[in-house]
Amino acid sequence: MSALQVEERLSPNHGERTDEPVDILLLHYTGMPDDVQALNWLCDPKAQVSAHYFVHQDGGVVALVPEDRRAWHAGESRWGTSRDVNSRSIGIEIANGGHPGGLPEYPDAQIEAVIALCGEIVGRHPIPPHRVLAHSDVSPGRKLDPGERFPWGRLAAAGVGHFVEPAPIADGRFFQKGDDGAPIEALQAMLALYGYGIDISGAFDQRTEDVVAAFQRHFRQSRVDGVADRSTIETLKTLLDALP
Ligand SMILES: [Zn+2]
């Protein structure tokens, strides 16, 4: 792979990492209509937010925070046992209008740049494919980015991230908010095993709905409704089976 051209524009918004390994790569959208406005915001000391990299819609890559520093992109978040995702992750902000802008498509040039950048980052850190995550995965209910239009399947085909072909949507038994019992416990246990921050209570509560929706937003994008239908559960099982 040829080295990616990266422009540098340092953001003041970063701090010390803890001494945990950097083993998560977290992808975001900016959720703003204008690239330059979003980039300026990430470099504004008043914003108190940043990411290590920014990817323009035309594929231009900007480095904002050195990888050995803790950028401020994840906020309140949880994955596996970690509740300080910023300390152990690299964050990439991808310029896209997001849900506020009606979920515009990600241009090809931008996705190609994201794939190349992610490939370089996972080569520099012990980040396994199943820890290349969406902001919505680590902050379910609070964050929706990079959204259900983000082409995770295309990234995986290029060797970035963990993805399986989602099971087709079909009729059958499903679980939703208000349900409880052993099947809900099993569902929560599978989601937690994958890494989602969910308690195994046996009650399909608001948190469970948010986590199921986050899972769908990443892995079963054609319907994101927080209902654990057969396709959602099958897809989750297949992903778990495919874990190293
Ligand atoms: Zn985000």
- Banded model confidence at residue 19, pLDDT cuts 50, 70, 90: confident
SS (H, E, C) 158-220: CCCCCCCCCCCCCCCCCECCCCECHHHHHHHHHHHHHCCCCCCCCECCHHHHHHHHHHHHHHC
Q: Report the pLDDT value the prediction gives residue 2, as an integer from 0 to 100.
A: 53
Q: How far is the CA of 29 from the centre of ligand 1 (A)?
A: 6
Return mean pLDDT, the chain: 96
pLDDT digits (tens, 9 = 90+) for 95-109: 999 999 999 999 999
Q: How far is the CA of 42 from the centre of ligand 1 (A)?
A: 12
CA 72 from chain centre, in angstroms, equals 15
CA-to-CA dists, residue 127 to 17, 59, 75, 87, 187, angstroms: 16, 23, 20, 14, 26
pLDDT digits (tens, 9 = 90+) for 46-87: 999 999 999 999 999 999 999 999 999 999 999 999 999 999
Q: Which of 185, 182, 235, 232 is nearest to 212 (CA)?
A: 232
pLDDT digits (tens, 9 = 90+) for 22-38: 999 999 999 999 999 99
Q: What is the mean pLDDT of residues 188-200?
A: 98
Q: How far is the CA of 100 from the centre of ligand 1 (A)?
A: 13
Q: How far is the CA of 170 from the centre of ligand 1 (A)?
A: 32
Q: Report the pLDDT value the prediction gives residue 1, as an integer from 0 to 100.
A: 44
- Considering Cα of 81, then 84, then 90, then 94, what sign does the dihedral take? positive
